[in-house]
Homo-oligomer: A and B are copies of this chain.
Amino acid sequence: MQRILSTTLPDYVEKPVRLAGWIHRRRLLKSVAFLILRDAAGLAQVVVTDPAVRAQLERLPEETVVAVTGIATAQPAAPGGVEVTGPTITPLTDPAALVPFDLYRPDLRANLPTILDHAPVALRHPKLAATHRIAAAAVAGFRDTLTSMGFVEIHTPKIVGTATESGANVFALDYFGRRAYLAQSPQLYKQIMVGAFERVFEVGPVFRAEPSDTARHLAAYTSLDAELGFVDDHRDVIAACHATVAGMLAAVGATAGPALELLDVRLPTLPAEPVIVHFADALAMISAATGRDVTGEPDLAPEHERWLGEWALREHGSDFVFVEGYPTRHRAFYTHPDPGRPGYSRAIDLIFRGVELVSGGQRLHRYGDYVQALAERGETDLTPYAGYLDAMRYGMPPHGGFAFGLERFVARLLGVPNIRQVTLFPRDLHRLAP
């Protein structure tokens, strides 16, 4: 008999069915036993009255994989209003080992290190699995939205010969006897590829040898990157980023509904028009509101971002606010200055519920500007940038882009405090397994 998924049981009332999945929970009452079966779609209740089947069930611990055949029977108290009666149970594996926590409880009651140590089984918990279904929907939304806007997907090297982007915090490796590094971002490559496709995106791992052990940093995460050419200025980047985030939220809502419901998540509000505030105006507003002059600050502190998040929600009904015009000297060398406002740049950040999510902006595109920007940062040996600068020498349009971490997006979406809670197998200062 063809296997069906638990959620389709209502289509088979009074008919024989075959389910397969994990023994999520057993409830061995005096006169009856219940087997809650978990499969990819959800849970199904199986009622056992036959003493022989009950004796068999008593020997099959939670997480054992079984096939169950029986009759789909209406039962208002069961999940989906249908249960399976008169079952035959066929184990598909040996009886499972004892799991170090109860996967059947509504929430996984274990501390984070225990959960991460046992990720291969902890990730089976419906709420943890739901987290990653939401992540998958968000990534699909990222790609589909950008593809519909003419962006082309690329795959750029993760092993690079030089640590160009920041110098510090890179992982070094032995590359056939030579020293090489893990890419911290696809930044330089995605800019190069604007020269071939005008608009590109990449979803892939990036690596940061972060020596800090915080709730927000990982040594490796999934970066969502986009870059587009022929922009007038950073406002075109904001428009693309805004459309992309809107597409991601729509995709999550459309394809991860049950996961959102299980986690009791309210999707954030993103108005049709992006809320944009200039860096200098943001600091002025914060100074005026708090009575503490912060207008000379070179960057937004976390409490400033929180303030802006609350302001955007209060004044514009938006969980998102774009900040433009960050001081040039505090952004990466490829940042395009604002020609009309010395000292300020065309760099942007997107703040999501009071925390920085996206960084981006317009980039320099003239070879001479790059040489000068690098020199101002003390970099006069251009060899490490050869391929990158070639792209500029051979004609690169005005362009810009944005990037953000998938895990950070999902953590903020779900209101989860530690990024490790939304990462399948996190890597950090201390953790290299499983």
Contacts from A to B (Cβ < 8 Å): 3, 20, 22-23, 39-40, 63-65, 92-94, 96-97, 99, 118-121, 123-124, 128-129, 132-133, 135-136, 139-140, 143, 147, 150, 152-162, 171-176, 178, 180, 182, 189, 192-193, 195-199, 203-205, 207, 209, 211, 219-220, 222, 230, 365-368, 386-388, 390-391, 393-398, 406, 424-425, 427, 429, 432-434
Contact = CB atoms under 8 A, between A and B. Distances in A.
Given A120-B390, A424-B156, A173 B178 contact: no
A40 B388 CA distance: 20
Given A121-B390, A123-B196, 10 more contacts: A22-B395, A65-B396, A96-B393, A124-B196, A132-B196, A139-B153, A143-B143, A159-B207, A203-B203, A387-B433
A120 B159 contact: no
The 7 closest A-B pairs by CB, nearest first: A387-B434, A173-B173, A96-B395, A40-B198, A63-B395, A161-B432, A120-B391
Given A157-B220, A171-B174, A180-B432, A193 B65 contact: no
What is the interface of chain A mostly: helix, strand, loop, or mixed?
mixed
A154 B61 CA distance: 28
Nearest to A199: B40
A427 B172 contact: no
Contacts of A197: 40, 129, 132-133
Contacts of A96: 393-395
25 contacts: A3-B230, A22-B395, A39-B198, A40-B197, A40-B198, A92-B230, A92-B398, A93-B395, A93-B396, A99-B394, A119-B387, A120-B391, A120-B394, A121-B390, A123-B195, A123-B196, A136-B153, A140-B153, A157-B427, A159-B427, A160-B432, A162-B433, A172-B174, A173-B173, A192-B434
